[in-house]
Chains A and B, each alone.
Chain A
Amino acid sequence: MAFKRRFLAVALVLLGLGLCAYGLAFHVITVHPEKDDAAAVATSEPATVKEVSIGGLKRDETGKIRQTYTGEAPQSCPT
């Protein structure tokens, strides 16, 4: 029982660290500009986290992830 408990706790920590590592190093999100006047950009997950924290990304009707602004970024999340 104690071994199971230890194994589960360590496995959860390792799983969490693995998810963080994957998000930091490998996960890439394709972001399209506000208007289709430029190419889509592959954005890392940390950069995407920063973008969503200011309400800078939205999913459009076609399912594409699109920036909500052009030029200067908003100060903070609009919600």
Chain B
Amino acid sequence: MASIVKKTGLNRFVGRILPRRHWVQAGFLLVWLGPLGLRMHNVCGPVFHCYACPLASFACPIGVMAQFSALHVIPFLAIGTVLTVGALFGSLICGWVCPFGLLQDMGAKVPIKKLRIPAWAGYFRYVVLIGTVFAVPWFFGEGHPLFVCRICPAGALEKAMPDVISQAVTGKEIIWPNAVKITIVIVMVVAMFITIRPWCRILCPLGAIFGLLNRFSILSMRLEDHKCTACKRCRTLCVYGLTPDKKPNDDNCLRCLECTRCGPGALAVTTVFASPSEKQETTPQPVEP
């Protein structure tokens, strides 16, 4: 049965674009995969995309942070880029923009029963961030096996594997990546099929920063208590097993915005500047039950 909900302009836009999220992600590949052969590696992109990838347009901010940490230099550009983008959008970047997120989303399309990742596993991302991006490079240098780039699945999938395939296709001698990289690729590929966004939810250091900024970002999620009927449909809609009705700006939320499809329209995308009058702006709109 159709119900009447109140929606702001921003939410109408979200409602229209939501069913096409994967197309938006795919569209952003035109930015990250440098179709014009632009390799602007002196600029950090705001997404998790290995700069060793032959098509990468920008430098990976996490790789740059780790390399700078190994040099004992503060990476102002990388931190500034991540902070600016994170403070504007939070983890909306993870849900809608990141190419490695899209890759995992495509893997999750394989119709296999998915394993549930507990929400607390998300805190492991901070361990990865502090450990492999800052502490290990700072104290042991970039040669340490726990240096983030050495264990990064993006590097393994976007550079090492394409290299092997290219060598095989062109008939050159195949230089196999080391056992660690091969293991990472296998584990990552399997994990992509059997669960949703395993890297983003358990290990991604960039996602950890964006997740932390969720509660402070200009773009934010709001639960309108007076509309919430406690039907818990938002929990069903959240494929990451979160509780948007309790914590709409959860650290572990990837802002796929699926929860905004809840029947009563209680969860809305808003900005910190939304005035009370804007919040009351109304447009009757039918919503699927």
Contacts and interface: CB of A to CB of B under 8 A. Distances in A.
A41 interface: no
Contacts of A29: 71, 73
A49 B87 contact: no
A76 B50 CA distance: 10
B63 A53 contact: yes
Interface string B42-53: 111000000110
B51 A12 contact: no
5 contacts: A9-B272, A19-B79, A49-B77, A52-B64, A58-B142
Nearest to B60: A53
Interface of A is mostly: helix
B84 interface: yes
Interface size class of B (residues with CB under 8 A): 35 or more
Contact of A59 (B54, B72, B77): B72
Contact of B80 (A2, A17, A52, A57): A17
B84 A23 contact: no
Contacts, number: 125
A53 B59 contact: yes
Nearest to B54: A76
A22 interface: yes
B87 A16 contact: yes
B217 interface: yes
Contacts of A21: 80
B270 to A, nearest CB: 11
B64 A9 contact: no
B195 interface: no
Contacts of A10: 218
Interface in B144-164: 147, 149-150, 155, 159
Contact of B81 (A6, A16, A59, A77): A16
